[in-house]
A and B are shown apart, each in its own frame.
Chain A
Amino acid sequence: MKTQNFGLFFFLMVLGQMALCNFANFSPFVMLSMLPAMIICVPLTVSTPLCMVLAFATGLSVDWLSEGLIGINTASLIPVALMRKPLIRFFLGEDIITRSDSFSFRKNGIGKISFVLLLSILIFLGVYVFLDGAGTRPTWFNLTRLGVSLICNYVLALIVTNILTADDRK
């Protein structure tokens, strides 16, 4: 995907996430977020520090313009940006990092990318649920919320990744 297209889609998805935060409140057990998948799909030419700054700005924008607590998406998204390259290196191989290559379902397979997405969502949701509960909610509630949200967000992440990593040779 060309960089300007990525930027445009990324911006549109930030707006979409704001809408999700404001209007998609189906259940206390479900928390929908496209943010971890969006950060994972940031081109590998972008360094980790820059990616963390991007995650900070994105999370803060969503927090600021939605009804949630300011700082919660930001605090949950920065660890995903920190772990982005190590996760990709582990599941997709060192080469892709060395060559700063792009990845897609067609090139790398849905299985490997799914592991990256699932772990990044797990990191995001782990921090989010932990901070949102603030030690007041029972463990069973937090674990159920984490599990249900993980499944829902994984489906959402597959769609987001498919859009943001669209192969140019398609």
Chain B
Amino acid sequence: MRKNNFIYHLINAVIFVILEVTALNMLGNNGELQGTWMSQGAQNIMGFFWGGSQKISDYFSLKEQNDALALENIELRLRLEALESALPEEARTTFTGSNTGNYIYTPAEIVKISNNSQHNYMIIGKGYEEGVTEGAGVVTGKGAVGIIDAVSRHHSYARSFKNHEMNISARLGKEGAVGPLSWDGITSDGAILKEIPHHVVFEKGDTVFTSGYSSIFPPDIPLGEVGESKIVNGATYEIKIRLFEDFGALRYVTVVENKSKGELKELEDRR
């Protein structure tokens, strides 16, 4: 019954449209004013629909645009690196806020990501043929998101920051105290910064950056902002951090390789 009703209404609508369009067409052909007015109206409607379809087409081309932007981003970083190394040592220090050496940046797309376990990981679409090596960092503009654990020809396996086995050396503000930052294991954007001496002054909303003390991540990458804090064992603060990076929406990353990593490792081993 309902189906018949629908068909009946559909027939009515089709006949109405046919007759009304015929009548309007006759009117447009006979009245000069009406003809011009209706053709203007038709053009506006066409414009609206073409505009809409253009927006849809733009949406589906976002991936290509993202790829292009990621490449442009890396090119800019490389140029920045080159410019930085051309600057005198003093100026370079002022410019970057540190002198931790040079890094190689490789843009990559995440092929697979796990976000719902306690040992999350990600597989990225670049391997040793593209210059990715084990132990390299994985970063975005909003944080350090992982470390490369294994590399194949065109893919790499990275341990996600949302993994209990992972710590990042983080700094409170750009010149504050340094401590290990690890995932809180509960929320998607929650982390805990530990071992901050209790005399250190900080406030809610302060930004936390990578410290640059590890040979993996460059310094001064913003990671998150300070939330609640508590004193543990009467000696150090344990601070809740709200991460900037949304791991659920993560798609493009940059693999970052410290050029001096080998030298630093050798030095550590000699000691």
A-side residues, CB < 8 A to B, are 48-49, 52-53, 55-56, 59-60, 63, 69-72, 74-75, 78-79, 82, 131, 134-136
Contact = CB atoms under 8 A, between A and B. Distances in A.
Contacts of A79: 16, 20
Contacts of A48: 12
B16 A136 contact: no
A60 B25 CA distance: 12
B31 A134 contact: yes
A24 to B, nearest CB: 21
Nearest to B38: A134
A55 B15 CA distance: 12
Given A70-B29, A79-B20, A136-B37, 11 more contacts: A49-B15, A56-B23, A60-B23, A69-B27, A69-B34, A71-B25, A71-B31, A74-B23, A74-B27, A78-B23, A136-B33
Contacts of B36: 134
Contact of B20 (A49, A75, A135, A136): A75
Chain B interface size range: 20 to 34
Given A78-B16, A82-B16, A135-B37, A49 B11 contact: yes
A82 B27 contact: no
A55 B20 CA distance: 11
Interface of B: 11-12, 15-16, 19-20, 22-31, 33-34, 36-38, 40
A153 to B, nearest CB: 20
Contacts of B15: 49, 52-53
A60 B27 CA distance: 11
A71 B11 CA distance: 22
A71 B33 contact: no
A101 to B, nearest CB: 20
The residue in A59, A79, A135, A136 that gathers the most chain B C-beta atoms within 10 A of its C-beta is A135
Contacts of B24: 71, 75, 131
Given A49-B11, A135-B37, A69 B30 contact: yes
A167 B264 CA distance: 106
A49 B29 CA distance: 25
A71 B12 contact: no
Contact of A82 (B12, B34, B37): B12
A131 B27 contact: yes
A127 B114 CA distance: 59
Given A131-B34, A134-B33, A136-B33, A71 B27 contact: yes
B26 A78 contact: no
B23 A75 contact: yes
B26 A74 contact: yes
A82 B14 CA distance: 11
14 contacts: A52-B12, A52-B19, A69-B27, A71-B23, A71-B25, A71-B29, A71-B31, A82-B12, A131-B24, A134-B33, A134-B34, A134-B38, A136-B33, A136-B37
